[in-house]
Amino acid sequence: MEGNTVVNTVDPALPDGRSTPMKRPMSLLDYANPSRFLSFADRVIPWLTGLTALVFAFGLSQALFVAPDDYQQGATVKIMFLHVPSAWLAMFGWTLMSIAALGTLVWRHPLADVAAKTVAPIGAGFTLLCLITGSLWGRPMWGTYWVWDARLTSFFVLFLMYLGVIALWRTVEEPARAARAAAILTLVGAVNLPIIKYSVDWWNTLHQPASVMRLGKPAIDSAILTPLMIMTLAFTLLFVTLHFAAMRNEILRRRVRTMLLMKAGRAPGN
């Protein structure tokens, strides 16, 4: 039944202890079933799409017309409304892949490898956006588009790791084998996440230290911080919407693949 699961429960009102079907709310584990996830995704994706568009429109209006220019960087500072959210989501994407990798290797979650495979291209896209916007921001500030400091180099390594995982998924045709190999590579690559986070503290770099996620209050004025948080929410909603849509498409693609294999197995001469 949509939105609920029917379970057999002993009804104390019945003297013979007969079990009667009772409804309970569906838990997150119930959506591990691909069919239930498809039903959930079909309902939620249109709402997520509309909400993402609204938050993006509001966030861009705040970033472009309300947030002031920086007294040193001028209007160039507004690149941060694209650069910072994309950087956070690039790291979030690999974190999500790492959790999914544990789900594949340890808990054998039926949707873990689907989640890991579909998040890789999205994470790679946000990482590329971060690198491009960072270069455009760095040219007027540093006098060059690129320097091989710790933060930029570790982020470039993250982009290469995303490409490596995508290539691995495309190289190994059998989904189960590809999932295990990609899960191991993902967990090994997770070592790079703390390097990215603390590179500005461990080494002398041109990149500025943390201004928002740090002990104490943020070092950014609320006139810029508020639009930044709104844009971060918009980017996050976009990430989730794209991921749900990609997972739905991957489940359907695997079902088509299974049907074709079954049809080929029943063909004459096999």
Which of 122-131, 184-193, 208-217 shows the lowest per-residue confidence on average (mean pLDDT)?
208-217
Which of these, 219, 222, 230, 100, lies nearest to 165 by C-alpha position?
100
Q: Which two tokens stand for residue 182?
A: 């990609």
Q: Tally DSSP H helices, then E strands, for the chain.
A: 7, 2
Strands (E), the chain: 4-10, 19-25
Residue 185 DSSP SS3: helix
> Longest Cα pair distance anywhere in the chain, in angstroms?
83
Range from 66-80, 187-201, 230-244 that averages highest in pLDDT: 230-244
- How many other CB atoms are found less than 10 A from the CB of residue 102? 15
Q: Name, in order, each residue with C-beta under 8 angstroms of 261's C-beta and a sequence gap of 6 or more.
A: none
Q: pLDDT for 234-252, tens place per residue?
A: 999 999 999 999 999 999 9
Residue 136 DSSP SS3: helix
State how far Cα 9 lies from the chain centre.
38
Handedness of CA 133, 137, 140, 142 (dihedral sign): negative
Q: Name, in order, each residue with C-beta under 8 angstroms of 10's C-beta and a sequence gap of 6 or more.
A: 17, 18, 19
Ordered by where they begin, the domains of the chain are 46-252 (1.20.120)
Mean pLDDT of 132-140: 90
Q: pLDDT for 1-18, tens place per residue?
A: 344 444 444 444 444 444
